[in-house]
Amino acid sequence: MTYCLAIKVDDGLVFAGDTRTSAGVDDVRTYNKMHITEEAGDRVFVILSAGNLATTQWILNNVKRDLADPDAPVNLRTVRHMYDAAEYIGTLSVRAQKESTAYGQYSNVDFRTTLILGGQILGEDPSLYLVYPEGNCISVSPETPYLQIGESKYGKPILDRIIRPHISLEDATRCALVSLDSTMKSNLTVGPPLDVAILPRNALKITHRLRLDLDTPYYAALKRAWADSLERVFRDDLPKFEWETSQQTML
């Protein structure tokens, strides 16, 4: 399985995801699920993927092929708007699935993939789109300024509590890492190393890209600080029941 997320705040976009694709007892595999395309000073796109790896690779290979083909009717260099880019990626996804299912012997294989497309084109605001296997897409909203794919349920509560449009890119990144850590704590199919990319508004390039493993000093410190803080709040700061207060008074 997998877990990837992207966050939109006033200052830009944050992307994060794990790299685990299987987690058997003796078969742990990883695969890069974050894919970046940049045209310096003009546009930048980030694709996060969850689902069938063959379908994902078909889409990415065709994105690269179209970029290299001057006669391609549409590619990520020629689209005028981020929504057009999301529609283009959705069209490729549908084509990939149709070609894969055309062979009857693979009828029991799930070829679907779900994608997050984010980025910015010069003259537009940064945007995030969730591209469904059916090819259609939705964008983030001020009420829910983030998108998730894969094992999303464990990491969602922290996003709902913390993510607001006004928070900084750094706070949004920390929140994304806590969301991933919470998921890994409860689900073995999501695992390190973790990939993180930060796209500030109007930078038109990824300014920070990180790969974090369990023993990476920053990530190890963040995990430890988050766990210690939760334990301290639970032990010391949550309100006591009435009978606990009475017992303490008697003592």
Q: What is the 3-state secondary structure (H, E, C) of the chain?
A: CCEEEEEEECCEEEEEECCEEEEECCEEEECCCEEEEEECCCEEEEEEEEECHHHHHHHHHHHHHHHHCCCCCCCCCCCCCHHHHHHHHHHHHHHHHHHHHCCHHHCCCCCCEEEEEEEEECCCCCEEEEECCCCCEEECCCCCCEEEEECCCCCHHHHHHHCCCCCCHHHHHHHHHHHHHHHHHHCCCCCCCEEEEEEECCCCCCCEEEEECCCCHHHHHHHHHHHHHHHHHHHHHCCCCHHHHHHHHHC
Tens of pLDDT, residue by residue over 164-187, are 999 999 999 999 999 999 999 988
Alpha carbon 136 to its chain centroid, in Å, reads: 18
Looking at domain 3-214, its CATH architecture is 4-Layer Sandwich (3.60)
Residues 48-71 have pLDDT tens digits of 999 888 899 999 999 999 999 999
Q: What does the pLDDT read at residue 27?
A: 52
Q: CA dist 143 to 8, 153, 195, Å?
A: 11, 18, 26
Q: Looking at residues 124-139, what average pLDDT do you find?
A: 95
- Token representation of residue 85: 């880019």
Query: pTM, whole model, 2 decimals?
Result: 0.91
Name, of 106-110, 142-146, 205-209, the range with top average pLDDT: 205-209
Q: Does residue 218 contact residue 181 with C-beta atoms inside 8 Å? A: no
